[in-house]
Copies of this chain bind each other. A is one copy, B any other.
Amino acid sequence: MPQGQPLTVPADGLTTRARRNAPLLAVHTGPGKGKSTAAFGMALRAWNQGFSVAVFQFVKSAKWKVGEETALSELGRVHDERGVGGPVEWHKMGAGWSWTRKPGTEIDHAAAAADGWAEISRRLADERHDFYVLDEFTYPLKWGWVDTDDVVEVLVSRPGTQHVVITGRDAPPALLDAADLVTEMTKVKHPMDAGRKGQKGIEW
């Protein structure tokens, strides 16, 4: 993307540099493809800048997004072994969060979602990471498993320069209001409409 000129210069008393370093809250929503995929693409840039990247997947099944997980984990390994890029953590609710998992126990998804958010809250307070992907996080908000007002409050008041990208359909209006960047992915044409099923290397 070209480095565009801002349409307006805000009267916020900040220098361009301060504004440039402001933490970004981005939301990718809408019914189209590419919401999560674009978030993981953004993570590549963050990784390249040496940012600490953490992904939290709020999905039921641990089998989804294996490709992105493997790729970003390998980039984390590149960081650990060769000092290129930043460290990467990948956490999955569907498999039980790594910090709470008890093998063999059934997962209560509502409780797991609330627990995931509590952990993210703590990490934001501690400024643990530079770049967070909260993948499909709009669903626990929509279903009331996690309180949207609490999320907005924590995000708006997070310390430092921690960037957060949230993905999923039907993002609540309060979250959109709080976001700096909102992109809606609109489905114009999709192969499943023509009877195709998911494909290796494309859907997973």
Report which A residues bind B (CB closer than 8 A): 1-10, 12, 16, 19-22, 24, 28-30, 32-34, 36-42, 44-49, 51, 61, 64, 66-68, 70-72, 74-75, 77-78, 84-85, 130-131, 163, 176, 179-204
Contacts and interface: CB of A to CB of B under 8 A. Distances in A.
Nearest to A45: B67
15 contacts: A1-B198, A4-B192, A7-B195, A8-B193, A8-B195, A10-B194, A19-B197, A22-B196, A34-B185, A37-B42, A77-B78, A180-B189, A181-B189, A181-B190, A184-B186
A41 B45 contact: no
Contact of A203 (B3, B32, B37, B67): B3
B64 A75 contact: no
- Copies of this chain assembled into the complex: 2
B46 A130 contact: no
Contacts of A71: 44-45, 47-48, 75, 85
A37 B46 contact: no
A47 B131 CA distance: 23
Contact of A67 (B16, B49, B176, B198): B49
A74 B77 CA distance: 11
Nearest to A4: B192
A3 B182 CA distance: 26
A8 B75 CA distance: 39
A203 B41 contact: no
A24 B191 contact: yes
Contacts of A38: 33-34, 37-38, 41, 185
A201 B162 CA distance: 11
